[in-house]
């Protein structure tokens, strides 16, 4: 969190053992997956590693960016998200319209808009502020050595699997049909509408920030320059925005669908429940062909799991390169409780809403799905509610000046 976003010291020593361990695991994992599964799975593992490096070095988060805008009207993080989404739709819409990319079949995340999305995204938004991160933020800050985020991740996994017990009921609640602007308006029309919405949000953040502060916040500077900055960080937010859009597109081409995170958490939780003799196979969610197959096979065969492992290792490598890997087990009681409650809300909400800030927001909007925009609205409202709850868990002085890292 704030440890990620604070200035990097001018002198950074050699990479510590944690970084070498992360690098070794990335190499060994790639070789194993190439042999045991296939080359595509191994490549997706490396894409996950690259995502972890980008997220950490750019301190590219959603939770902190939204909190800073809500509390201080600083919109640099939100504007970076709009740039990321704008590049993503330019890359995604043409191939989604044709249904293939470089000879591979592709499809987007297009889901119905209903009660489950509204409730789930709102709960997820509250969880972001209490847990201290979103889906991607939880992974990369945990990988970077933030022990409280490991607690959030455990709650995230538990909330995800609990939701699979109820999600069939939620999906039966009133909903509109799924709507894709790519199908409805075509590539050019879909891009034009999306760009109009991105520009509106971008312009609104500029207007409100200037009204509050008189000028826009200057981008962060770094003592590291050139290749040293690329390797050690910190990166400008715009680097992160571009890199995430490109890596999500690479994921679409390789996996046949956009980047996702939280489905793996439900899978991990279900496998743990099976180990302690809780039979989840009777739950409707795990009776679908795809989910039942995932439950019966190794997590290394699951694309989302493999990419998540890569994100954690990539963030660990980046933290070591930046000289920032220094875990601490000292977590006060109230922040610890916030991590548990926030994690549960994140996991439960993500299953109801067909995904998280990555699968539903980033992936949904990049896919041209209107449910991604609905997710954004109600998750943002949830963040506003979560910000109101934060003082109870963190105290008035615990609100950071800026924490874009998660």
338-358: per-residue pLDDT in tens? 999 999 999 999 999 999 999
Question: Does residue 314 form part of some domain?
Answer: yes
**Domain-embedded: residue 116:** yes
Mean pLDDT, residues 267-291 taken together: 95
- Domain membership of residue 144 (yes or no) is yes
Q: Residue 3 domain-assigned?
A: no
Among the residue ranges 52-66, 112-126, 320-334, the one predicted with the least confidence is 320-334
Q: What is the mean pLDDT of residues 371-399?
A: 90
pLDDT of 327 reads 81
**What total number of domains does the chain contain?**
1
State residue 8's pLDDT score: 36
Q: What is the predicted pLDDT for the residue at 225?
A: 79
Task: Residue 100: name the closest of 256, 268, 306 by CA.
Answer: 256
Please tell me the predicted confidence (pLDDT) of residue 170.
97
Question: How far is residue 313's CA from residue 309's CA, in Å, rounded to a whole number?
Answer: 6
89 closest CA partner among 198, 171, 175, 6: 198
Give the number of other CB atoms < 10 A from CB of residue 40.
Answer: 16
Return the pLDDT at 14: 65
Where in the sequence is the domain holding 49, given as residue range(s)?
Answer: 16-398
Q: Is residue 316 part of a domain?
A: yes
What was the pLDDT predicted at 159?
97
* Residue 298 CB coordination number (10 Å): 11
pLDDT number for residue 296: 94
Q: Residue 274 domain-assigned?
A: yes
Q: What is the pLDDT of residue 402?
A: 38
- Cα(200)–Cα(221) distance, integer angstroms: 28
- Alpha-carbon distance of 199 to 401, in angstroms, equals 26
pLDDT the model gives residue 219: 84
- Please check whether residue 199 lies inside any domain of the structure: yes
pTM confidence score = 0.92
Residue 403 lies in a domain: no
For the cut 50, the answer to whether the pLDDT of residue 214 exceeds it is yes
pLDDT > 60? residue 97:
yes
Q: Which two tokens stand for residue 227?
A: 């290749």
Residue 406 has a pLDDT of 55
User: At 140, is the pLDDT very low, low, confident or very high (cuts 50, 70, 90)?
Assistant: confident
Query: What is the average pLDDT across 313-323?
Result: 92
**Does an H or E element contain 104, and which?**
strand 104-105
Q: What is the pLDDT of residue 13?
A: 54
């Amino acid at each position: 969190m704030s440890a990620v976003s604070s200035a990097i010291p001018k002198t950074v020593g050699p990479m510590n053992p944690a970084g070498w361990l992360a690098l070794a695991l990335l190499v060994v994992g790639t070789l194993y997956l190439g042999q045991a599964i296939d080359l595509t799975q191994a490549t997706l593992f490396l894409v996950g590693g690259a995502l972890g490096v980008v997220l950490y070095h750019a301190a590219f988060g959603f939770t902190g960016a939204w909190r800073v805008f809500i509390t201080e009207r600083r919109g640099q993080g939100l504007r970076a998200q709009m740039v990321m989404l704008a590049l993503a739709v330019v890359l995604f819409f043409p191939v989604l319209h044709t249904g293939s990319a470089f000879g591979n079949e592709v499809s987007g995340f297009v889901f119905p808009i209903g009660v489950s999305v509204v409730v789930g995204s709102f709960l997820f938004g509250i969880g972001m502020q209490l847990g201290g991160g979103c889906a991607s933020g939880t992974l990369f800050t945990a990988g970077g050595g933030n022990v409280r985020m490991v607690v959030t991740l455990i709650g995230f996994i538990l909330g995800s699997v609990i939701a699979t017990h109820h999600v069939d009921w939620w999906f039966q609640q009133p909903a509109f049909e799924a709507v894709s602007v790519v199908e409805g308006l075509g590539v050019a029309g879909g891009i034009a509408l999306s760009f109009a919405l991105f520009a509106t949000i971008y312009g609104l953040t500029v207007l409100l920030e200037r009204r509050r502060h008189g000028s826009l916040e200057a981008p962060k500077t770094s003592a590291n320059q050139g290749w040293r900055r690329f390797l050690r960080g910190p990166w400008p937010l715009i680097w992160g925005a571009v890199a995430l859009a490109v890596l999500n597109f690479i994921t679409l081409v390789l996996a046949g669908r956009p980047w996702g995170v939280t489905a793996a958490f439900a899978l991990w939780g279900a496998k743990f429940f099976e180990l302690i003799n809780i039979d989840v196979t009777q739950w409707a969610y795990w009776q679908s062909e795809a989910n039942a197959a995932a439950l019966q096979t190794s997590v290394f065969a699951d694309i989302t799991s493999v990419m998540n492992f890569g994100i954690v290792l990539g963030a660990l490598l980046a933290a070591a390169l930046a000289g920032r890997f220094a875990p601490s087990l000292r977590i006060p009681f109230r922040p610890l409780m916030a991590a548990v409650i926030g994690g549960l809300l994140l996991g439960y909400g993500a299953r109801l809403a067909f995904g998280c800030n990555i699968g539903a927001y980033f992936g949904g909007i990049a896919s041209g799905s209107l449910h991604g925009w609905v997710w954004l609205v109600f998750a943002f409202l949830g963040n506003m509610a979560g910000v109101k709850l934060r003082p109870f868990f963190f105290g008035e002085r615990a609100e950071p000046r800026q924490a874009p890292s998660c």
